[in-house]
Amino acid sequence: MPKGSSEGLFREALNKIDFDPTFIYKPPDDARNWKPTDYFLWYPVSLTMPVAGSAWFEVKETPNLAGWNLADVRPSQWRGISIAGELRIPYFFAIRWKRDGMWSLVDAVRLADWLDTQTERPKSVTRVALESRFGVSSTVGQLPSMIRAALMEGL
């Protein structure tokens, strides 16, 4: 299944989040411009104050079942994670596990911070670590509520 179908499934989940109003922007896949992530999201964080929250989402997929290859993250995305961390904007990896159709919603800033502490940078991260230490597991049906919970409460 091409990544585009995972991006489409993730976009459907974003569209189902019950924030009003919500603005979702997917920058074009154009190599001439820096693209730190697949989706930018702006949403209200308070019902009584006109304050907007923001989050960045990068959709990935893997044919693996037990681990995720960090080579799937482009240098421009690592840079985006660093900038998002400095600005305190949540940046999430939404990883689709093609073999079982499950998703991992991962706090990319926390993952990058942990990677920076390793004396030898690992080439991959186990699914168990992604879904316990850095994020959560989700079915495609649960994904909208998991995203909403991550935005409101964190992972």
| Beta-sheet pairing, 52-62 with 91-97 | parallel
**140 contacts 9 by C-beta, under 8 angstroms:** yes
Q: What is the pLDDT of residues 30-70, one digit of tens each?
A: 767 788 899 999 988 776 766 788 999 999 999 999 999 99
- The third-level CATH classification (topology) of the domain covering 3-153 is Trna Endonuclease; Chain: A, domain 1 (3.40.1350)
Q: How many CB atoms lie within 10 A of CB 155?
A: 17
Q: Which two tokens stand for residue 129?
A: 């670590």
Domain ranges of the chain: 3-153
Q: What is the pLDDT of residues 64-110, one digit of tens each?
A: 999 999 999 999 899 999 999 999 999 999 999 998 989 999 999 99
